[in-house]
Every structure is written in C-alpha cells, then in structure tokens.
Amino acid sequence: MLRSMYSGISGMKNFQVKLDVIGNNIANVNTYGFKKGRTTFKDLVSQQISGASAPSAERGGVNARQVGLGSQISTIDTVHTQGSLQTTGRPLDLGISGDGFFQVMNGTDISYTRAGNFYLDQNGDIVNSEGLYLSGDGGSKINIPTSAKSFSIGDSGIVNFVDDQGQLQEAGRIQLVKFANSEGLEKTGGNTYKNTPNSGDPVPVFPTEDGGGSIVAGALEMSNVDLSEEFTEMIVAQRGFQANTRIITTSDEILQELVNLKR
C-alpha cells in the first residue's frame, strides 16, 4: 500500500486533536482564569531508502534519501499568559496581577486556581464556587465574622473587617503560590490545577512579595483566549484536515488504477 495514505491518516488524526483543543478554548472564552491550550506537531520517523556517503578523491558525497511517514502530536501546551482584568466592584472578586495562584482546600487536599470569584459561607469562611476554602497564611482558613459591619481586601492580600464595636480587625492574609514551571500543571476541572512532577512543588508567597504578583480586589481575570486567533487556527486546522483527506483520495485513485490494470 502507498505510504502517502498512512501519512494522510496521521495528519487527519492530528488535526482532529487540534480542533478539539480549539473547541475547548472557544467554549471557555468567558471562563474566569481560564488558560488556553495550544497544539504542536512533529514529524514521524522517516524511512531511509539509501544512506549518505562521504566524498572521496574520485567522487563527491551523496546525501541520504528519506521518505517521511507522517506526523504526530508533539505537545498540547497550556499557555499561562496574563488575562485581562475586568472590574466588577464586588469585594470578594479577586484578580491576580502576576504569576501566582490561589490555594483552595478541601480538607488536606489542596488545588490551585486563577479564578478569583469567592464567596462567604454560613460561617463566614471565604470559599470558591465549589465550596473549597481559600487558603490564608500557613494554610489556615480566612474567616470574616458574620457580625462584621464591612470588610476589605488589600493588594497585599490582607483581609480587614470592621467589627460590631466599630474597630478595625485583621481576619488573615491570603497566601499565593508560584511554580517553577506553571505550564507543567495538570488541569483537574472546576478552574483548578494540581501540581505534577514537572511543574515543581508549590512555593508559598505573599501578594506583592517574592514575585507572586498583587491582588486586585473588585476585579476578575478573564480568559486569555483570543477569539480572532482561535478562528484563524480553526480555518488552518480545517484546511489541513481537508488537504490530508485529499492525499487519501488521490492515493486511493492510484490504487484503483493499479487494480484496473488486471482488466
């Protein structure tokens, strides 16, 4: 059978994966803190028809003759560029201007997120939309008493509130983490990530210190998906898929001609 037919099949599979990634990006264009994906390809092993030869006194060198056997997925990257901050005016909407991540806790299970839409539960603890506790200094919960008259969160992560006596009190300080390789984090759904052996261990940092970034209260980080870029990549993937189907169709026509030689 023709090698070109199998090369075309590999190309079609790869562009299907690329379209899957693009579709997920577009579906999350309005997801807070979402980081877009990117697909890259690499070529498969090449079949060597003849090897290279060195030049001699009588004849010059000859290059190797190789036929490629298609392509394969190289990487599916998570692109951690900063998303734009959208002002909401809600005091529990927190955006990160920098490279840090919020820590959210379910018991001893810790996840990491860039989505800063937080809420207060019945006890006054700060939680995310899934009910996971926002981690403060030393991994503690941050509690704003239900009797508090008002509260505020500064760019350094300090949470202050005014008690029922009119006194300013500190409820805690939000602790961020950063990673040596944030692109190595694993997406676990619900706008959360887990660290992996290639992301490195989380390094605790406070906002405005040690390169973790600052907190912007009353704002949310939007998705970093660019729709114009995604639609362009979609067209490229669609045309690439069509071109590979044409390779298979042309290879099939050649095989048909060979079969017809018997007649």
The tens place of each residue's pLDDT in the chain, 263 residues long, gives 578 888 999 999 999 999 999 999 999 999 999 999 999 999 988 888 888 889 988 889 988 888 888 899 999 999 999 999 999 999 999 999 999 999 999 988 999 999 999 999 999 999 999 999 999 988 899 999 998 999 999 999 999 999 888 899 999 999 999 999 999 999 999 999 999 999 999 999 999 887 788 999 999 999 999 999 999 999 999 999 999 999 999 888 888 888 888 76
Looking at residue 263, its pLDDT comes to 66
Residue 118 neighbours by CB distance under 10 Å: 22
Distance CA 250, CA 62 (A): 32
Distance CA 77, CA 67 (A): 29
Q: How far is CA 201 from CA 113, 133, 175, 198, 204, in A?
A: 15, 20, 15, 9, 10
- The overall pTM is greater than 0.85: yes
Taking alpha carbons only, the member of 160, 161, 151, 158 closest to residue 174 is 158
Looking at residue 4, its pLDDT comes to 87
Looking at residue 46, its pLDDT comes to 82
Task: Read off φ and ψ for residue 70, nearest 5 degrees.
Answer: 115, -165
Looking at residue 208, its pLDDT comes to 87
The residues that bridge with 135 in the sheet, in sequence order, are: 141
